[in-house]
Amino acid sequence: MSMILGITPWPIVSGLICFVLAVFVLFLARHTAHQAIRTATSAIARGLRLGSHSVTHLETRLAARNRDVLLAAGREAKERIIEREFERVSESVRKDLTNYPTLHRALSESIRRIEEDHQNAVDVPPEAPGWVRAVDAVSQMEARNGAANILADIHKSLVKAHKEAMDTYREASAERHGLLRKMMPEWRVIKETLDRVLASVESLLTRSVAIDRHMQEYQDIVRGHDRAVSTLSSSSVVQFFVSGLVLLIAIGGAAINFSLIARPMSEMVGGTSYIGSFRTADIAALVIIMVEISMGLFLMESLRITRLFPVIAALPDKMRVRMIYITFTLLTLLASVEAGLAYMREVLLQDELATGALLRGEDGGGLKNEFLWITTAAQMGMGFILPFALTFVAIPFETFVHSSRTVLGICGIGLLRAFALLLRVFSNGFHHIGKLLERIYDLPLFIPLWLETRAANAAKAERQLEVGTVQEAQT
């Protein structure tokens, strides 16, 4: 800079000369510089836009993949639900159809007895009395033939016969009423039987309605309707957070379980032994908990409650039952070991308290507590129950694994969409930055550009004047 300013004895004049030379050089290279700026910014903008298109394409592929995964998971879950509903309907129908012959026989016997009692309870009309014609014949006889005495005898006979008929009618009515009373239990039996049949039919109708709804949802999933995809997506997000919360609770239970067995494990494997930077006792306690969780997972798979391992689900029933017994036995043994370690932990704690009391010169007998068995039993119970409680972690874990694919896909789609938008913004930004750089480059050249513009305008006006003169001459 000192050399440049030393061209003339006056630094200001030297700087002015250098500025004029720089402006002249920049003016001569203006077209090339504009092309270079435009090319560089356009290349960067096109690269960013190409990257944006690539990210958008990747987002589309990920969305399609996520949609396929979501529909496949929803189809599998819906198939399991429909299969379970059909099993319930089949069980209900089988149970009802198995009892149908007995039911039909009971109804037939009840109806037959009712028909017999009804036939026996029919009121038989009495026969027409024959004394009416006899009285008519006697009334036509003359009095001297003893008609009055005959009528008196007939009256007495009629009164006696009427009394006997009334007694017989009352006995028959009482017998018919007794038969009708005997029909009431049969009617009750028929009513109860038909009520059971009605309940079974209503249950089947309710299940058929549920099956129709599930089948409609299954058809929507198979056809890939947007409404089904939206429903499955929201359901997966809800299941993800709910199962995540349950897994956090299970982690808390595993931490409690770890605290119960970590201390006595240090007495078994040595408290000063390390594997790397971790204590061997902590690693051993953690391995026991992981083995318990694995046994619980295999037990749930063998019971076909979860379906994380298709190999276990495809085992024959006999082998699967054996696996259930084996995993349950191992889980019980590990729970018993944990209960023993929890008891050992309480014993070690009491020994430390007694040792501390002796070192302080206190009476160690004061540490004895008659209610100590309560805490010991509680710790042993927790050590035995927690492994079985952790067994059910397999259910939320399966839900978390299946729903995490959808949730991660949705998050990936959102990130790719945001990244594509950012690339488009940068692409447009570099396009405008190129124009800005051109304007900045032309800023020191305002005088030559102004002179160039004036000269161009003058030349243009002169050409227009010449053209006008030529046209006037031609006209």
Q: For residue range 235-279, list pLDDT tens digits in order.
A: 888 888 999 999 999 998 888 888 888 777 777 776 677 777 778
Among 333, 338, 329, smallest CA distance to 298 is for: 329
Q: What is the pLDDT of residues 192-237, one digit of tens each?
A: 777 777 777 777 777 777 788 778 777 877 777 777 777 778 788 8
Kindly report, residue by residue over 156-198, the tens digit of the pLDDT.
776 677 677 777 766 766 666 666 666 667 667 777 777 777 7
Selection from 25-29, 172-176, 203-207, 392-396 with the highest mean pLDDT: 392-396
Report yes or no: 431 and 41 within 8 Å, Cβ to Cβ.
yes
pLDDT tier, 128 (very low <50, low <70, confident <90, very high otherwise): very low
Percent of the chain with pLDDT over 90: 6
Exposure string (b/e) for 142-155, b if CB count within 10 Å is 16 or more? eeeeeeeebeeeee
Please tell me the least confidently modeled range out of 20-24, 36-40, 154-158, 345-349: 154-158
Mean pLDDT computed over 11-31:
73
**How far apart are alpha carbons 468 and 475 in whole angstroms?**
11
Helix (H, G, I), strand (E, B) or coil at 368: coil
As beta bridge partners, residue 278 has: 275
Binning pLDDT at 50, 70 and 90, where does residue 419 land? very high
**H/E run at residue 394:** helix 394-442
Best CA proximity match to 391, nearest among 285, 251, 295, 286 = 295
Residue 450, Ramachandran bin (φ over 0: left; ψ between -120 and 50: alpha; else beta): alpha
62 and 416 in contact (C-beta within 8 Å)?
yes
pLDDT at 248: 92
> With contact defined as beta carbons under 8 Å apart, do 420 and 56 qualify?
yes
Share of the chain above pLDDT 70, in %: 73
What's the Rg (C-alpha) of the chain? Answer: 53
422 vs 342, more confident = 422
Residue 274: beta bridge partners?
Answer: 279
pLDDT band at 367 (very low <50, low <70, confident <90, very high): very low
* Closest residue by Cα to residue 27 from 437, 452, 432: 452
State yes or no: pLDDT of 309 exceeds 80: yes
pTM for this model (two decimals) = 0.62
Distant-in-sequence, close-in-space partners of 369: CB < 8 Å, separation ≥ 6: none
Residue with tokens 């696996």: 323
* Residue 13, pLDDT above cutoff 70: no
Cα 187 from chain centre: 49
